[in-house]
A and B are shown apart, each in its own frame.
Chain A
Amino acid sequence: MHSIQYKQLHVRPAASLKGTLVPPASKSYSARAVLAASLAPGTSTIENVADSHNVKAMIECCRALGAVMTPDGPGRLRVAGVARPRDGVILSPGNSGIVLRLLMGAAARSRGVTFASPYTESLGRRGNSEMVEALRALGVVVTAEGADGRLPITLDGAGAHGGEVGISGRRSSQFLSGLLYLGGLLDEPLAVHVTDELKAWPMVRTTLAVLARAGVAAEAGADLLTYLVRPGGGFQPAAYACGSDPASVAALLAIATAVESDVEIRSHGLEELGGVLDHLRAVGARIDEDGTTLRVRGGGPLRARDFDGSQAPDAVLPLAALAAHAEGTSRFTNIEHIRYKECDRISDFRRELTRVGIDSGETRDELIVHGSPGGVPGGVTVTSHYDHAVVMAMSLVALRSRRGLTIGDPQYVAQTYPAFFEDLRRLGATVAA
């Protein structure tokens, strides 16, 4: 049974969870690697490429731009890239901001490329004005919906050039990453400076790592606020290997911490977990590390702890769901940028917390969760807001509740982790359509 074929799933409370899981591959690294490989004339290979819907959207877009993708064994993709992406195509980034913003950079030298998304109530509502303005400054003719640069967006890059450009990093670092990809395609140097602050800096490090592997000379200042991409030979074929998805690992760790459990997570090399392990240990989990395997034992009393969300933005929601069962109040700080994801991950998530009886608060930059150590009664229906992080967080709440939760539109977990519910079942949870 593919759980993501259903519009509702009921997640029952779990007495205990036990077993071993291999988490999905990193969607962030996979999406960047697929694009870099597609822009490199020649053949690249990608090991352990993610099968998340975001990455599949990137693969389909790159196919439309002319790259040839050939599955080459389990989790392995062979990519024949093109020097000059096709003109006149319509690209759907699915519901992924990173796929959209990276491609806006990569397609900014092409003619007549249009971006549109069926997710009109999610990605379709997210603004891209930072990227639109930066591309215009670099000679790209951009048409977009509304002043905040919403989809559909059309680019004509016949006059694209290098030079200097500023970009805001306050709402998202994805615009910066997109510009760095464009820099790798230009014949002139491209200097980019961040005009305010850079919130999700770990993601920029991932971009720089992939660009370096593709032979693109992108130099970053020590503060990650200035960048210079020098013209060279463009993107070169390379061999990429994707690690495990940190957001999914964080969610699994939080779930195993929430209930009586003994769970092993065998990863393909862990990407930076951004303080998540230390936080979970402080909250009350027992976590042992053995190479790339994490063993977590949970179910004990949970302590409230604060967390700086800029270290691991995608981990905030599962950690906040865990905090809902801790003794005391937890504050998740430095997270304004997670308001601009698949949903407003502060206000929309709080709406669902309220629905299940969890007390919480918010400021512009902060989520405050007041714990209920006894858990919640459950027995209500919550909705996903098109967001994989909400689905995983609400599953945690359901597993620790007294009557479980019905999760509406759970299929959007597939943006990151298509087998999430099947993996919960493997650990002994009951999930019913």
Chain B
Amino acid sequence: MIRVSPAARGVSGTARVPRSKPHMQRAILLSLLTNAPSIIQNPAWSSEARHLFEAARQWGLEVARDDGDRLVLTGAGRSLRAPRGPVATEGSAFNFRTLAAVAALLPEETLLEGNASMLKRPVREHLRFVSDLGGAVRDLSDGRRLRVGVRGGPAPGGRTVVDTRHSSQVLSSVLMVAPLAARPVRIDCSGPPVGPGYVDLTVRMMREQGAAVREQGLSYLVEPSVYQSRIHLVASDFTALSYVAGVVAAAPEGELDVVDYQPSTLSSERDFWAALRALGLRLEHDPVTRVLRIGRGVPPGPVVEIDGRNIPTVVPTLAAIAPFVPARVSVRNAAHVNNHKCRRIEVMVRELRAMGCHIEVTTDRDGQVDGFRTPGPSRPAGGVTVSSHGDHRICLSLATAAVGARRPTVVEGVQHLHASFPDFPHVLAGLGVHVAPAA
């Protein structure tokens, strides 16, 4: 637990945010599938990325050089080598899905393993693409671990339907391996994918490397094509940026510089920056110095309405910011945010209200929670202990809101920050916020 004191005199200074996990994951996969050298510049090493990287090495990804901030790799292309033993995906559904897609390119059976938590998550039922593309799946799980054998067909290719109602990860996984199939691959989505920005990211990164991908409504057609050598410049994590920007919004005044900031081309990041500007923040990025300056900008209008459909990861931060904005703020179309580690919208609203913020959930026509709204600015009292519910994004968002409270707030759950932004308490301290461990 940490005790976050109010930033009564505002915030200032410099901050640094981690690099983007989605970029890193895709860069690893694409580097493996490229029969030429690649560079991953500014790698973002989460535990999930590390496991994915180790798995890719089992298929033939080679490290030519590791300078810390620059990783030079040589991939395998179609000369993927069959892993000698089981491939561990631990508790990562993303890793399981993408590695199952890689395994579907090889005629030998690959054993993919996950821990017990994966048995409860929707992963096995989304492997239909393997058989659709000519391969086969064997479920060898027991009560203690997920264990699945995946084998590709003699000439992978064909048509598959991917369930995109709750996740776009399977879609991204099949898309990335499809250029290496022997025949064209057509992927039909069951509906508009959630997190379309991440699908855009996948397709953009594929095209930048030479993949032939055509998008036709909710279908994708990928022709056999060759990934070319690439420097993957891993973008900064705009979700991590959201907490730093949130601190400027919550504090009574301030301006700060985020150094070494590399914006992504994600439509999600573009939409998020637009939302911050609508909420009255100013963001100026210098591409040469790579400094992003964040301060107060043009005051918002009386009503700010934000569509949360394409910005799921920052909806909790927007909830933390909204009570401090001199406007009536609403975020809608964000029901999918509740499908993560906890019911994020409801939890955020409950904890913010405990701090004294004026905020309430909103529901859609079916009565499902799909967002929140504020009646105008609050001056929350703070002075309470709030819970992260085991979710790093809730913890970070609550610590952000605590900066604007009148009394110190204890935020529980810092032990979960390793998943995204472990240095955030130090970043807060560097901006002039008093942060101390709490018993």
Bind each other: yes
Q: A residues engaging B (CB < 8 A)? A: 1-2, 4-8, 53, 56-57, 60, 86-90, 92, 94-95, 111-112, 116-121, 411-412, 414, 418, 433
Q: Which residue of B lies closest to A63 (CB)?
A: B208
Instruction: Determine whether B228 belongs to the interface, using a CB cutoff of 8 Å to chain A.
Output: yes
Instruction: Give the chain A neighbours of B290 by CB distance below 8 A.
Output: 88
The residues in B between 116 and 139 inclusive whose CB is less than 8 angstroms from any CB of A are: none
Are B64 and A120 neighbours in the complex by a CB distance under 8 Å? Answer: yes
Q: Is the CB of A116 within 8 A of B229?
A: no
Task: For chain B, residues 277 to 303, give those with C-beta under 8 angstroms from any C-beta of chain A.
Answer: 286-290
Main secondary structure of the interface of A (DSSP, over half): loop
Q: Give the residue name and chain of the B residue nearest to A94 (CB).
A: B229
Q: Is the pair A2, B288 in contact by a Cβ cutoff of 8 Å?
A: no
A118 & B229 in contact (Cβ 8 Å cutoff): yes
Does B230 count as interface, using CB distance less than 8 angstroms? yes
Taking CB atoms and an 8 Å cut-off, the chain B residues in 5-53 that contact chain A are 35-39, 41
Q: Any chain A CB within 8 A of the CB of B104? A: no
Q: Which residue of A lies closest to B180 (CB)?
A: A5
Q: Does the CB pair A418–B39 fall under 8 Å?
A: no
Interface check B4, CB cutoff 8 A: no
Q: Are B288 and A111 in contact, with the CB atoms below 8 A?
A: yes
A8-B39 contact, Cβ under 8 Å, with A53-B228, A120-B65: no
A156–chain B nearest beta-carbon distance, Å: 8
B286 and A4 contacting across the interface, CB-CB below 8 Å: no
- B36, B72, B77, B79: the one contacting A120 at CB < 8 Å is B72
B230 touching A118, Cβ below 8 Å: yes
Residue B406 CB within 8 A of the other chain:
no
Residue of A nearest to B233 (CB): A90
In the assembled complex, the CB of A144 is this many whole angstroms from the nearest CB of chain B, namely 16
Tell me the bound Cα distance from A87 to B224 in angstroms: 35
CB atoms of B37 and A120 under 8 A apart? yes
Judged by a CB distance under 8 angstroms, whether B226 is at the interface is: yes
Residue B416 at the chain A interface, CB threshold 8 Å: no
- Kindly list chain A residues whose C-beta atoms are within 8 Å of the C-beta of B36: 118, 411-412
Assess whether A112 is in contact with B287, with CB atoms less than 8 Å apart: yes
Q: Are B182 and A95 in contact (CB under 8 A)?
A: no
**Least Cβ–Cβ distance between A402 and chain B, in angstroms:** 27
With a cutoff of 8 Å between Cβ atoms, the chain A residues found around residue B76 in the complex are 7
Number of interface residues, chain B, beta carbon within 8 A: 31
- Inter-chain CA distance A90–B288, complex, in Å, is 10
Q: Do A414 and B226 have beta carbons less than 8 Å apart?
A: yes
Cross-interface CB contact of B78 among A5, A60, A112, A412, cutoff 8 Å: A5
Max count, chain A CB within 10 A of own CB: residue among B78, B210, B224, B289: B78
Checking B180, B231, B289 against A90 with a beta-carbon cut-off of 8 angstroms, the contacting residue is B231
- Contact check, A7 vs B37: say whether CB atoms are below 8 A apart: no
Residues of B within 8 A of A (CB): 35-39, 41, 64-65, 72-73, 76-79, 180, 182, 208, 210, 224-226, 228-231, 233, 286-290
User: How distant is the Cα of A5 from the Cα of B41 in the complex, in angstroms?
Assistant: 24
Given A120-B64, A120-B65: A92 in contact with B231 (beta carbons within 8 A) = yes
When C-beta atoms are compared, the residue in chain A nearest to B74 turns out to be: A118
A57 to B208, CA, bound (A): 10
Bound-state Cα–Cα, A2 to B225, Å = 7
A117: chain B residues at CB < 8 Å are 231
Measured CA separation A112–B262 after assembly (Å): 14
Residue of A nearest to B76 (CB): A7
Enumerate chain A residues within 8 angstroms of B228, measured Cβ to Cβ. 53, 56-57, 94
Q: Which residues of B contact A7 (CB under 8 A)?
A: 35, 76-77, 79
Closest to B77 in A: A5
Whether the pair A4, B38 counts as a contact (CB closer than 8 A) is no
In the complex, the answer to whether A87 meets B77 with C-beta atoms within 8 Å is no
Query: What is the bound-complex CA distance between A7 and B224, given in angstroms?
Result: 17
Q: List 13 A-B contacts (CB under 8 A).
A: A2-B226, A6-B77, A53-B229, A57-B228, A90-B231, A116-B39, A116-B41, A118-B230, A120-B64, A411-B35, A411-B36, A412-B36, A418-B226
- B contact residues around A411 at 8 Å (CB): 35-36, 77
How near does chain A come to B205, taking the closest CB pair, in angstroms?
12
Contacts of B78 in A (CB 8 A): 2, 5-6, 433
| Chain B residues whose CB sits within 8 angstroms of the CB of A86 once the complex forms | 287
Q: Smallest CB–CB gap between A318 and chain B, Å? A: 23
In the complex, chain A residues whose CB is within 8 Å of the CB of B286:
88
Shortest distance between the CB of A365 and any CB in chain B (Å): 31
- Report the minimal beta-carbon distance from A273 to chain B, rounded to whole angstroms: 29
Q: Closest residue to B286 on the A side, CB-wise?
A: A88
Cβ contact within 8 Å between A5 and B35 = yes
| Residues of chain B contacted by A8 (CB below 8 angstroms) | 79
B26 to chain A, nearest CB (A): 16
Instruction: Give the shortest distance, in Å, between B157 (CB) and chain A (any CB).
Output: 12
Complex Cα–Cα for A88 and B287 (A): 5
CB distance from A226 to the nearest CB of B (A): 35
The answer to whether B77 touches A116, judged by C-beta atoms less than 8 angstroms apart, is no
| Shortest CB distance B40–A (Å) | 10
| Whole-angstrom distance between the Cβ of A102 and the nearest chain B Cβ | 18
With A and B bound together, what is the CA distance between A1 and B182 in angstroms?
A: 7
A1 to B72, CA, bound (A): 27
Chain B residue with the shortest CB-CB distance to A433: B78
Given the interface pairs A6-B79, A7-B35, A8-B79, the reply to whether A92 lies near B226 with Cβ below 8 Å is no
CA distance A117 to B289 in the complex (A): 21
Q: Roughly how many angstroms separate A4 CA and B227 CA in the complex, as a whole number?
A: 10
User: Which residues in B have their C-beta under 8 angstroms from that of A88?
Assistant: 286-290
Report A75 CB to chain B, min CB distance, Å: 15
Residue from the list A4, A56, A60, A95 in contact with B35, Cβ < 8 A: A4
A94 to B78, CA, bound (A): 20
**A6–B39 alpha-carbon span in the complex (Å):** 20
Chain A: which residue is nearest B81 at the CB level?
A: A7
Measured between C-beta atoms, what is the minimum distance from A386 to chain B in Å?
9
Residues from chain A with Cβ under 8 Å of B41 in the complex: 90, 116
A118-B77 CB under 8 A given contacts A60-B208, A88-B288, A95-B229: no
Q: Which 10 A-B pairs have the closest CB atoms?
A: A88-B287, A5-B78, A112-B288, A118-B37, A7-B79, A88-B288, A5-B77, A92-B231, A118-B39, A111-B288
